[in-house]
Amino acid sequence: MNYLYLKSLHIIFVTTWFAGLFYMIRLFIYYKEAENKPELEKDILQKQYHLMLKRLWYIITWPSAILTFIFAALLLHTQPIWLSTNWMWIKLGFVLLLYLYHFSCQHMVNQIEKGTLKYSALSLRIWNEVATILLFAIVFLVVLKNSLGWIFGTLGIVGISILLMLGIKLYKRIRDKRSWDK
């Protein structure tokens, strides 16, 4: 298969995989927040969220993760020289972390299948940002490759992480203030 077709398919499935991961956590948050609703509303919402996340997870997210892996392997097969570069091994390390993140989401799906989700909405919001940090790290690493200095890259990821956490805290304050005003 032509290198550019492989690369295009890899990018498409990386994109759909991340979209699935981002939306899954939002569904987990909505599912968790529905626990605070009156019983009838809670049952209706959780049933709907469960259906949505099951479809998203098994029809979009898992297949995208598998196809991302397949096209990445094919790309590495066509470009084996990449395996001799530092940036590729660092990228593969981040990708491994992303797959571990994916498996942790599977654990949460399994919990919902059993009728419970053992994480708070706030911890899920924070967990959602892990995928964002990995996305930034992987994209910058792939685009900048060896021109990205270790110190700059590390400081950039730490800076992005701090900004995301501050954003979550600000959102929580605004949300708590709005619920207090009602």
The binding site for heme consists of 10, 91
Per the CB < 8 A criterion, the answer to whether 97 and 29 are in contact is no
What is the SS3 assignment for 174? helix
Tell me the C-alpha distance between 98 and 23, whole Å.
Answer: 15
Cα separation values, 15 from 9, 47, 74, 85, 180, Å: 10, 28, 18, 24, 38
Please report, in range form, the residues annotated as the binding site: 10, 91
Q: Dihedral of CA 83/85/87/93: which sign? A: positive
